[in-house]
Amino acid sequence: MPVDQVIISYMRSRNWINVLLLRSMNLFQPVLVESPSEKIEVSANGFSWSEQNLEYRILVNEFFEIVTKTDDGEVPYSFVEMQGNNLVFGLALRRIKHRVMDQRTCDVEQSDLLLRINPFTPCCLHCSNCANLVMEQRQFHRIQEVAMTTMQPQNYFCARNRVPVYPTEEELFFGLNYLVISPDLLGIGVTTTPGNHLIECSRCKQCVGEYLGRDVAVQLYADALRLVSGDSPFGFEEIFGHVTPTQLMMRLLHDAEPISPEKTRLFLKAVRPDGQLQYLHLQVDTKQVHILRSELLDTSDLDRKSHGLDAPPMEADTSSESDFEMRLSDTSSSSINQPTGDDSMDPLDSSLPKPKAAGPQKSVQYIQLRGFRGCRLKYLFSGEDQDLIENEDITTTWLDEGTQVLRISYGMMVDLMGELNANEHLAAALEKVSPPIKSRHPRLSYLIYEADEDFYARQEQITKLAG
């Protein structure tokens, strides 16, 4: 089965990389067809995967130098594990080129939020649930993002150590999933709950915002509202444009609560359109993980030269001491060399296979890697009432410890959970832990930082391959 993608993870301060050869976008899918000849060969500057007349060559010499022989003359190895159609193994490193690795790693900057409210353009706000009028039509002469990168507006509008900011009727401030306006702009379509300063729709009772401080400003939840502007006076539209999971996480981490030098945590809340409350508990490692990832391969035409076929071949060294071969092994086996398609082979015989008669010409494909930064985290999602009940203990504990609940939109929650659910399979494979299952215990995953254009291109490519 051809390789769909190559993924390598590396953690700072470790002389080791974990490699995943993804041979099916459906991780842990049962193997349908096994090749009679499969092998991995490793040299100092990379490794190759071969099956029948197909060979993939992955060069990593830009980032690492791989150990092929220890100081004692022994050949290091890591067990090769089969997980469904996919292969996982580790490689020891002799040299890590940190400077080059940082230069070749995609740096993603925090981008501006796309706000669909324009200065001097009349607009009004309605409840997203029942279309009740929350703010009558008006114009804002000054529109700006909250000066601090944090999404918690009380840190800006009700600051203890600075002169507080009181929005005027001509001013609109905004941040991730919220708007801040003067209390005088609220219409007759809202009511205030006694005691806790929450603002509700007077018709359907949906919570649409809250007062800040001593009622100095109003924070409105963008996901609970719909915008009607002068450009589209008869249509409702979202207040903000789409925010990718990377941009979402970069903003949220400004509010992460440190719980140790190695970990921080986030407590996220979303409300489904039908009113279902959802919680997401995140415990994030402070040290970033580096991911080297290939582009998704279009395996329908292996003769195409779109993935660096002009790159130089791997170093040619036929000595058994400089290179070593790792054959596929079952995860329960203690030997790295196992027979593949030839039951007569001695499982402890590490010699190279004997030359065979000339057959079809081998197709060789070079795979290029791109560097990405990301965060390693554990998460616990409560999407239904039963989940909220089962995870009530951790919710109560976090609230008692003063953890702030940050509200995001339901769409943001869906996108974030989509990335976490997909990448938890990668994390489980790379770290050789049990495949993820639904449980009351936090689950391991990665969030890989990528530019918006890369995210949308990847989604389009996944859709194309799935179709």
All domains of the chain, ordered by start, with CATH?
A: 5-103+312-367 (no CATH), 123-229 (2.170.150), 245-288+374-466 (no CATH)
Instruction: Give the angle 66-69-72 at the CA atoms, nearest 5°.
Output: 140
Residue 167 has a CB neighbour count (10 Å cut-off) of 22
Q: What residues have CB less than 8 Å from 155, skipping those under 6 apart?
A: 148
Backbone angles phi, psi at 365, to 5 degrees: -130, 125
User: What is the pTM for the complete model shown?
Assistant: 0.81
Q: What residues have CB less than 8 Å from 432, skipping those under 6 apart?
A: 18, 81, 88
CA distance 81 to 237: 50
Per-residue pLDDT of the chain (467 residues; tens, 9 = 90+): 577 788 999 877 678 899 998 875 554 444 445 555 678 888 889 998 888 788 889 999 889 999 887 677 666 666 677 766 788 888 888 888 888 888 889 999 999 999 999 998 899 999 999 999 999 999 999 999 987 666 677 777 776 666 677 899 999 999 999 999 999 999 899 998 877 789 999 999 999 999 988 778 899 999 999 999 876 666 899 999 999 999 999 999 988 999 999 999 999 999 999 999 999 999 999 988 999 998 765 544 444 443 444 444 444 343 333 344 444 433 333 233 333 334 333 333 334 445 555 556 778 888 889 899 999 999 999 999 999 999 999 999 999 999 999 999 999 999 999 999 989 988 988 888 877 777 778 999 999 999 999 899 888 877 776 66
CA distance 426 to 447: 11
CA distance 401 to 395: 10
